[in-house]
């Protein structure tokens, strides 16, 4: 009669060997993930502008904060640059998704907007052409975006939105509000989209503030609550005569109140007839 052989029981050495292999695999996976996070953040920061333009009576300032969770590093950006006619173009936006792919796509969007702006200074036309360009690339990602043009000769702001969070404004007389202009669909979704343009004057001492949803939305705040908080803060800052840089820093502080986990960006345009530094 043949005796059935039982499988050999795992010894302590076997268990330690298996545990060592699993630990080594987990370490390599963690190192790989950490490398991707570091690469994404490096890409993102390298694509943000190193300097912002200004014009007589206008100060531009910005702030960026990375995601609290490194794995959520994404594609938020801001940008400001001189347009061919001497006006100032500003963009702010948020790419769908996170990690290296979102950061790289953000760079494409930002560069695409700049490239298109060499051919036209109309914010709606800039968004429309950039949208068609991104649709043709077909990367499966999309971005919300606001584009604004400021003409220093007239003091007029022209702006258009592609599914992005509304801007906030405040005047020197204590008036403030959330800009509820008509918006189009995010960039990179559908070809042939049209983006309406809104026009308004930037009053003496007034401010126009654009943010990404990482500033105004979180587990403890809805977007509406966050925007209202920003509007109140901007009104108080304008009445107090804060410089543009300090105003941008305080707006970014709203993100701590919303308990955001996403990355966040703020872009401030402040009419400063005194010509004080940002």
277 lies in a domain? no
2 lies in a domain? no
Q: Indicate if the alpha-carbon torsion angle 105, 107, 108, 112 is positive or negative.
A: positive
134 lies in a domain? yes
How far apart CA 266 and CA 53 sit, in angstroms, is: 16
**CATH classification of the domain holding 89:** 3.60.40.10
278 lies in a domain? no
Residue 43 pLDDT:
57
In this predicted model, what pLDDT tens digit does every residue of 114-147 receive, in sequence order? 999 999 999 999 999 999 999 998 878 899 999 9
In this predicted model, what pLDDT tens digit does every residue of 154-167 receive, in sequence order? 999 999 999 999 99
88 lies in a domain? yes
pLDDT band, very low/low/confident/very high, at 227 (cuts 50, 70, 90): very high
Higher pLDDT, 240 or 1: 240
51 lies in a domain? yes
4 lies in a domain? no
- pLDDT of 212 above 60: yes
In this predicted model, what pLDDT tens digit does every residue of 90-122 receive, in sequence order? 999 999 876 667 777 888 898 899 999 999 999
187, two tokens: 């960039």
**What is the number of structural domains in the chain?**
1
* 58-65 sheet: strands from edge to edge: 58-65, 264-271, 207-211, 168-170, 176-178
Number of Cβ within 10 Å of residue 216's Cβ equals 28
In this predicted model, what pLDDT tens digit does every residue of 185-209 receive, in sequence order? 999 999 999 999 999 998 778 999 9
Q: Are the C-beta atoms of 170 and 214 separated by less than 8 Å?
A: no
Number of Cβ within 10 Å of residue 266's Cβ equals 28
53, two tokens: 């333009």
Supply the range of the domain harboring residue 253.
36-271
Q: What percent of the chain has pLDDT over 70?
A: 77
Residue 209 pLDDT:
97
pLDDT band, very low/low/confident/very high, at 247 (cuts 50, 70, 90): very high
Query: Residues 242-267: what's their mean pLDDT?
Result: 89
Residue 38 pLDDT:
58
Show the 3-state SS of the chain: CCCCCCCCCCCHHHHHHHHHHHHHHHHHHHHHHHHHHHHHHHHHHHHCCCCCCCECCEEEEEEEECCCCHHHCCEEEEEEEECCCCCEEEEEEEECCCHHHHHHHHHHHHHHHHHHCCCCCCHHHHHHHHHHHHHHHCCCCCEEEEEEEEECCCCEEEEEEEECCCCEEECCCCCEEECCCCCECCECCCCCCCCCCEEEECCCCCEEEEECHHHHCECCECHHHHHHHHHHHHHHHHHCCCCHHHHHHHHHCHHHHHCCCCCEEEEEEEECCCCCCC
Burial class (CB in 10 A: 0-12, 13-18, 19+), 36: middle
Residue 277 pLDDT:
52
15 lies in a domain? no
Q: Which residue has the tokens 């996070």?
A: 37
Higher pLDDT, 80 or 28: 80
- pLDDT of 7 above 70: no
In this predicted model, what pLDDT tens digit does every residue of 23-76 receive, in sequence order? 566 555 545 555 555 555 565 566 678 889 988 889 999 999 877 654 456 688
Q: CB-side exposure of 253: number of CA atoms within 13 Å? A: 11
How far apart CA 254 and CA 249 sit, in angstroms, is: 9
Q: What percent of the chain has pLDDT over 90?
A: 54
């Amino acid at each position: 009669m043949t005796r059935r052989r039982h499988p050999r029981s795992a010894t302590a050495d076997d268990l330690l060997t298996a545990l060592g292999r699993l630990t080594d695999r987990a370490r390599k996976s963690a190192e790989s993930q950490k490398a991707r996070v570091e690469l994404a953040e490096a890409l993102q920061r390298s694509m943000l502008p190193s300097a912002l333009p200004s014009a007589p009576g206008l100060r531009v300032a910005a702030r960026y904060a990375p995601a609290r969770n490194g794995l959520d590093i994404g594609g938020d950006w801001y940008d400001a640059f001189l347009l061919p006619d001497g006006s100032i173009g500003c963009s702010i936006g948020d790419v769908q998704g996170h990690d290296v792919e979102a950061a790289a796509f953000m760079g494409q969007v930002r560069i695409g907007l700049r490239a298109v702006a060499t051919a036209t200074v109309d914010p709606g036309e800039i968004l429309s052409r950039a949208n068609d360009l991104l649709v043709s690339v077909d990367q499966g990602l999309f971005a919300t975006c606001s584009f604004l043009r400021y003409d220093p000769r007239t003091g007029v702001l022209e702006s258009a939105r592609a599914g992005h969070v509304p801007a906030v404004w405040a005047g020197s007389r204590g008036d403030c509000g959330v800009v509820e202009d008509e918006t189009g669909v995010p960039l990179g979704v559908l070809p042939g989209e049209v983006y309406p343009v809104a026009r308004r004057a930037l009053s003496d001492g007034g401010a126009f503030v654009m943010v990404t949803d990482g500033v105004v939305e979180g587990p403890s705040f809805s977007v509406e609550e966050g925007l209202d908080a920003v509007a109140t803060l901007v009104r108080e800052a304008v009445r107090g005569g804060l410089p543009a840089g300090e105003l941008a820093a305080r707006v970014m502080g709203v993100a701590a109140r919303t308990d955001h986990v996403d990355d966040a960006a703020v872009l401030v345009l402040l009419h400063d007839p005194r010509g004080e530094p940002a």
